Homo-oligomer: A and B are copies of this chain.
């Protein structure tokens, strides 16, 4: 990767800032994982689901009712959140109850919400 400094057309004289910044560049895997985490919160439907689960455990049917969305649409979004370990599923009879998997998710959601509402 010695030629990474020739990819960009920009070629100003002082490269010191770039050299110093290089050590803070996230590697591809880390950057991708962080992006995936935030991607879970990058859709209004998923934001609403997380907002609801931040206050109470709910089953799929309840989420459908409150969100006013079809069951497959909600289930697909829940699968996204499950795969990213944002929510956990608990099966009880015919129902599957979902909760936030992590206290960090709770914090991230409220921090993002606070930033929007106080802007």
Contact = CB atoms under 8 A, between A and B. Distances in A.
Interface string A19-61: 0111011101011111111111111111110011011101111
Nearest to A64: B8
17 contacts: A7-B64, A7-B68, A8-B69, A9-B71, A10-B61, A20-B56, A21-B56, A24-B51, A25-B67, A26-B47, A31-B44, A35-B44, A36-B42, A38-B38, A38-B112, A42-B42, A102-B115
Given A4-B68, A18-B65, A31 B10 contact: no
A41 B52 contact: no
Contacts of A21: 52, 55-56, 58, 62, 66
